[in-house]
Amino acid sequence: MFLGIDLGTSAIKLLVIDESNSVLAESNISLDVSRPQPLWSEQEPDEWWRALLKGIEDLKSQTSLSDLKGIGLSGQMHGAVLLDKKGEVLRPAILWNDGRSGKECFELEDAVPDLHRITGNLAMPGFTAPKLLWIRKNEPEIFSRIRTVLLPKDFLRFRLCGEAISDMSDSSGTLWMDTAARDWSEIMLAATSLSRDQMPGSLKEQVPEVSLRSELAREWGINTNPIIAGSAGDNAAGAVGIGVIKSGSAFVSLGTSGVYFVVNPRFIHNPKQGSHAFCHCIPDTWHQMGVILSASSCLSWLSSILKKNEGELISSLGSSPLNPEK
């Protein structure tokens, strides 16, 4: 059997399947987003971990995990999880939809005129690097204590196995990667006063296989030595799940954000037209995305205002030309 863990913005979702892909157990634990100031969007990484542990208990009430062979991770991209030298969280994670670092984006583009070619992207507040410039200017004491910067799902991996490791797809959404070369960019790291040593692991096409910590395996009733897979950012993982892995294949996803995703056989970038260029989690493959930051999250907001669930709101739209029976 295999365990999948997806760290979303509004919930962490867990799924257990068997060798034939039949679902054995599932859990969905809601998460809250903190907005202490306008444009801010934060979550406590330790809340993610507590939600994961709660989800595991849900799964155990539905099925035995004793024969678990592997664990896969996906999750929200771009968030900044800051750890000190002891591996402790220094502050709440700044999320992908946080908008506080607009000024820092201009500073970063001025500091690295070649930024678009190196990263394949515009500098935008959603990416990780501008967030760290904001931390350096506004929270210097915290910045001075940073030993490791992790992306959200990689923080869960760190708690699961004790290793700070990331993958190509998630890491290329930080603005610290030379996306064509599929490696960290020393130029981009230096522009934010960080070093390769503060990044998660060494980027490789094959993320090193690591195992679940033995104490967690015992607590969860696992008799095997489950491998934690290399994993991917949420959209790249979703692409693999639905077979969008060959050049020219594409999909549209409407979640908290809205995404149009298309696979490329080489690094193709067009940031001035608003497209993002990232590494796919498939070796020697890239993808471009068009993204809006609010999609179904707008429906959730309206649902809370009108005190109606999302299903009621959608059904009230009536029939459509594409689906006249609904």
Strands 42-43 and 70-75: unpaired
Question: What is the sign of the dihedral through the CA atoms of 77, 81, 85 and 87?
Answer: negative
234 is catalytic: yes
Burial of 184 (0-12, 13-18, 19+ CB in 10 A): buried
| Angstrom distance (rounded) from CA 185 to CA 198 | 13
Q: Which residues, other chains included, contact 307 with Cβ-Cβ below 8 Å and sequence gap of 6+?
A: none
**From 154, 170, 178, 234, the catalytic residue:** 234
How many helices and strands in the chain, by DSSP H and E?
A: 12, 16
Of 88, 5, 79, residue with least CA distance to 42: 79
| Angstrom distance (rounded) from CA 174 to CA 239 | 19
Query: Active-site positions?
Result: 234
